[in-house]
Structure 1
Amino acid sequence: MGSFSIWHWLIVLLIVVMVFGTKKLKNIGQDLGGAVKGFKEGMRDGTAPEEKPAATANQVSNAATDKNTIDVEARHKS
């Protein structure tokens, strides 16, 4: 009962192709490749340095008290 020879693997491959069909196997291969690609991109994004926050609390309070600030949404509402 040692390892399988090349003929055993070819017979198993033939049976798998007959059961699932080539189109189904192609779709499975594409899905698996997309999952691996997404995983690699996720791992790469996880090591990227974090970005600075858009505005600090001090900047927001200064913008709220600034008399030259225009509310863009208010302009479009009227």
Structure 2
Amino acid sequence: MGIGGISIWQLLIILAIVLLLFGTKRLKNIGGDLGGAIKGFKKSMSDGEKQAEADAEKREQISEDEKGTTIEGEVTSKKKEKV
């Protein structure tokens, strides 16, 4: 028994029918297109991870810069004067 109760002979018959219907050239093109799509998907996923890391570093840099400095001084008037 093979996968899910399908024997190896049944799989070979299905493969032969697919080859007769589509031909080897068309199957090769479909395989190439599928491989290109998978490669593009993996590339976009890795680019997304790199972008997320860069954004996290940028946010960390900004939060460190926003701390700034404290200026000490005396309060001269607590209420604003109306003009």
- TM-score, scaled to structure 2: 0.57
Output the CA distance in 1 between the equivalents of 2:19 and 2:10. 14
Query: What is the correspondence of 1:40-59 to structure 2 with a 5 Å cutoff?
Result: 40-48=42-50, 49-50=54-55
Q: How many residues align?
A: 50
- Find the partner of 1:16 among 12, 18, 26: 18
Q: Structure 1 vs Structure 2: percent identity of aligned residues? A: 62
**Correspondence for 1:35:** 37
Between structures 1 and 2, the one with greater helix share: 2
Alignment partners' CA distance in 2, 1:3 and 1:34: 32
Structure 1 unaligned regions, length at least 5: 53-78
Per the normalisation by structure 1, the TM-score is 0.60
Within 2, Cα distance between the matches of 1:3 and 1:35?
31
Corresponding letter in the other structure for 1:37? K
Moved runs in structure 1, 4+ residues, more than 3 A?
none
How far the C-alpha of 1:26 sits from its partner, in A, is 0.1
Q: Which runs of 5+ in 2 are unaligned?
A: 59-83
Q: Which has the larger radius of gyration?
A: 2
